[in-house]
């Protein structure tokens, strides 16, 4: 790859290269929405006082616009290329847009097609074998992410004290079958990421703590042989479920705090009651970034 590539990925995972001159597609100058997302500020105003206090900051959905030139050598080829792009944008379905750099860096964002292929033709925008258009998409979540997740896996092995979760954990045996491990998670991204936790049996109780923020996820449900427990922490998609489909949300104790992994270092403690050979904890997350580069 000589330069930057922009790839539209369909719901089925098929890749459509928008920057492939050999097949007649070019992204021309003027793309927007690839950099820093817009920012919305929530203000608290007090009557008769100057100014306001900023009470909250958030990033709204991100609009993306890609100027595209489609070229072909004949009318049949032109129609085929336009229809291929029409099918790729997958009307009414979530797709992904990925930006690939020459050095191997990849950034991806979920998008929905929102316009651009209506088919306007005049002397400046199209002819029998060519078309200029602005492909429009909306990213409901405004942050780009690395499609290759970061994974930390820690396993129990017998010993005195038991070596649970391995290096760089500092294991302590609290009671028979109860093991606590302390370590760090490193997030290289620009913004917080939402981890997915996987617990492998045996385990009677599970406690996952962000010690910096004093936030905890605690479950009193047993994870038995042949099952795994998955905890999804992302807002709007939060889930706690065994591999057989059993909803384990009722096993949460107290008021759970599905904490994120902040940029930089997050210090954590993990505790499994009833841990023994075979017990393991795996945490994975996709770093998220302000921009596509």
Predicted local distance difference test score (pLDDT) of residue 208:
96
pLDDT score of 156 more than 50 = yes
Q: What is the CATH number of the domain that holds 60?
A: 2.40.30.200
Co-location of 137 and 157 in the same domain: no
**Do 65 and 196 have their domain in common?**
no
- CATH code where residue 277 lies: 2.60.120.860
Among 142, 162, 178, where does a domain finish? 142
Residues 54 and 107 in one domain: yes
Stated pTM of the model: 0.89
Is the domain of 127 the same as that of 176? no
189 shares its domain with 230: yes
Q: What is the predicted pLDDT for the residue at 18?
A: 98
Answer yes or no: do 166 and 137 share one domain: no
pLDDT at 182 over 90: no
Please check whether residues 124 and 160 belong to one and the same domain: no
Give 192-228 pLDDT, tens digit per residue: 999 999 999 999 999 999 999 999 999 999 999 999 9
User: Of 85-94, 116-125, 247-256, which gets the smallest average pLDDT?
Assistant: 116-125
Mean pLDDT of 123-145: 94
Residue 173: the pLDDT is: 44
Domain identity same for 104 and 43: yes
Last residue of a domain, one of 87, 111, 142: 142
Residues 137, 178, single domain; the answer is no
Both 188 and 164 in a single domain? Answer: yes
Q: Are both 85 and 32 inside the same structural domain?
A: yes
**pLDDT interval class at 177 (50, 70, 90):** low
| pLDDT digit string, tens, across residues 49-64 | 999 999 999 999 999 9
User: Which domain range does residue 69 map to?
Assistant: 5-142
Over residues 166-174, the mean pLDDT reads 48
Domains in the chain: how many in total?
A: 2
Model pLDDT, residue 174: 41
Please check whether residues 156 and 278 belong to one and the same domain. Answer: yes
Higher pLDDT, 181 or 113: 113
Q: Which of 142, 176, 207 is the last residue of a domain?
A: 142
Query: What pLDDT shows up at residue 169?
Result: 53
Q: 59: which residues sit within 8 A by CB, 6+ positions away?
A: 37, 38, 39, 40, 142, 143
pLDDT band at 175 (very low <50, low <70, confident <90, very high): very low
């Amino acid at each position: 790859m000589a330069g930057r590539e922009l790839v539209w990925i369909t719901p089925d995972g098929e890749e459509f290269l928008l920057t492939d001159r050999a097949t007649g597609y070019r992204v021309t100058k003027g793309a927007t929405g690839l950099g820093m997302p817009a920012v919305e500020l929530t203000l608290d105003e007090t009557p008769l006082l100057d100014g306001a206090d900023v009470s909250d900051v958030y990033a709204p959905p991100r609009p993306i616009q890609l100027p595209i030139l489609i070229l072909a050598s004949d009318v049949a080829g032109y129609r085929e290329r336009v229809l291929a792009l029409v099918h790729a944008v997958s009307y009414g379905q979530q797709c992904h847009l990925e930006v690939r750099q020459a050095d191997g860096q990849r950034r991806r964002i979920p998008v929905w097609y929102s316009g651009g292929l209506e088919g306007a033709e005049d002397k400046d925008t199209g002819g029998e074998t060519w078309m200029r258009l602005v492909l429009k998409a909306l990213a409901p979540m405004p942050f780009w992410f690395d499609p290759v997740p970061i994974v930390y896996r820690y396993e129990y092995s017998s010993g005195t004290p038991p070596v649970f979760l391995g290096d760089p954990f500092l294991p302590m045996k609290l009671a028979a079958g109860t093991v606590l491990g302390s370590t760090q998670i490193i997030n290289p991204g620009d913004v917080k990421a939402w981890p997915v936790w996987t617990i492998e049996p045996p385990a009677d109780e599970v406690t996952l703590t962000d010690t910096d923020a004093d936030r905890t996820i605690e479950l009193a449900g047993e994870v038995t042989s042949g099952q795994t427990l998955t905890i999804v922490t992302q807002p709007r998609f939060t889930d706690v479920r065994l591999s057989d489909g059993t909803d384990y949300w009722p096993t949460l104790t107290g008021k759970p705090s599905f904490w994120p992994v902040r940029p930089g270092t997050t210090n954590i403690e993990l505790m499994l009651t009833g841990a023994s050979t075979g017990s393991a904890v795996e945490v994975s997350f996709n770093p998220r970034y302000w921009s596509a580069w």
